[in-house]
Amino acid sequence: MNLRQLRYFVAIADAGSFTSAALVLHVAQSALSRHMKLLEDTLGGELFERGTRGVVLTESGQALLTEARMVLARVEDIRTDISAMHGEVRGTVKLAMPSSLSHLLCVPMVQHFFDVMPGITLQLSEGTSQDLLGRIRDATIDVGIVTECPPDKYLNIEVLGHEPLVLMGLACDPLMQNRTMVEPALLPTLPLIMANGVKVMLGELSSAVKPVVYVETITIAKALIFAGRGYAVVPASSACNSTASDSFAARPITGMQLTRMVVTSAGRPVGRATREVIRYLRQNAEKYMGGSTA
């Protein structure tokens, strides 16, 4: 088994066929087939189920894919770390986060690394906490910002900070005008638009709260609020780009907050470029989340 075979294997798994992978890799399809046959012989079993529409990973192939991504990512970490010893920090860092943070975090973060560490290239994406944890385990991202991650021996988990939950509604609504804070006991009486993942953070109130709808993005929540369909319970960062509008207002919910965490894979040493990204997140967590850092 060698690195070329692992790269070819991952490319075929991602593309779903030998033909598509050959085009991406600029390698003859016959060469790919030969390398995969050698890899299967080395491992003692088939990695692909071949069909007329492409290939599907076998159980062994699924297991190898996770390990292969980890190995290739670690090789890239070694390369960039050694290169950094002879000059500026270089490397690509794949960072994913909830959409509630991305509108606040992405622009200043990209500007910072462009100005201060131009050798670091960021690949930014969004996703739910559950999605991001899976992508970290699969080594398809290097760092994830998630919410309320339980202990996991396969993950390195660090508390980044605590963020208030807020009730967002129309600025002209008397309920929003007459309060600076919202008591949790009020929530079960309201037509709520609930961000996915927030309900579990309501504790004992979760069984009493009956949302009219669950949403993934603040854009959907805003549209529903504007249409008069209710109020949204969201992280404070979600409301930051909304409260600037005269149409919306947000009020903190007394005693309610969520915990943001930065997560990496426990099975993969963290490279220098990734460490610089995590350092930036630690230093700037408070301004992005509207809460206090841990």
Report the share of the chain in percent with pLDDT over 90: 47
> Predicted confidence band at 251 (pLDDT cuts at 50, 70, 90)?
very high
Q: Region 226-253: what's the mean pLDDT?
A: 81
| Structural domains in the chain plus CATH codes | 3-75 (1.10.10.10), 162-259 (3.40.190.10)
* Residue 293 binned pLDDT confidence (cut-offs 50, 70, 90): very low
Model confidence at 294: pLDDT above 60: no
Q: Mean pLDDT of all residues in the chain?
A: 86
**Residue-level pLDDT at 86:** 65
130 pLDDT tier (thresholds 50, 70, 90):
confident
The percent of residues above 70 in pLDDT, for the chain, comes to 93
Task: Reply yes or no on whether the pLDDT at 203 is more than 80.
Answer: no
- C-alpha 163/C-alpha 148 separation (Å) is 11
CA-to-CA distance for 269 and 248, rounded, in angstroms? Answer: 44
Average pLDDT of the residues in 192-221: 79
Q: Is the pLDDT of residue 288 over 50?
A: yes
Question: Does pLDDT of 292 surpass 60?
Answer: no
Confidence bin at 178 (pLDDT 50/70/90): confident
pTM: 0.68
What letters, b where the CB count within 10 A reaches 16 and e where it falls short, cover 167-180? bbbbeeeeebeeee
pLDDT digit string, tens, across residues 82-116:
766 666 788 899 999 988 788 888 999 999 999 99
For residue 244, pLDDT beyond 60: no
3-state DSSP of the chain:
CCHHHHHHHHHHHHHCCHHHHHHHHCCCHHHHHHHHHHHHHHHCCCCEEEECCEEEECHHHHHHHHHHHHHHHHHHHHHHHHHHCCCCCCEEEEEEECHHHHHHHHHHHHHHHHHHCCCEEEEEEECCHHHHHHHHHCCCCCEEEEECCCCCCCEEEEEEEEEEEEEEEECCCHHHHCCCCECHHHHHHCCEEEECCCHHHHHHHHHCCCCCEEECCHHHHHHHHHCCCCEEEEEHHHHHCCCCCCCEEEEEEEEEEEEEEEEEECCCCCCHHHHHHHHHHHHHHHHHHCCCCC
Query: Is the pLDDT assigned to residue 81 strictly greater than 80?
Result: no
Q: What is the mean pLDDT of the segment spanning 218-240?
A: 86
- Residue 151: its pLDDT value, please? 86
> Which pLDDT score, from 0 to 100, does residue 241 have?
59
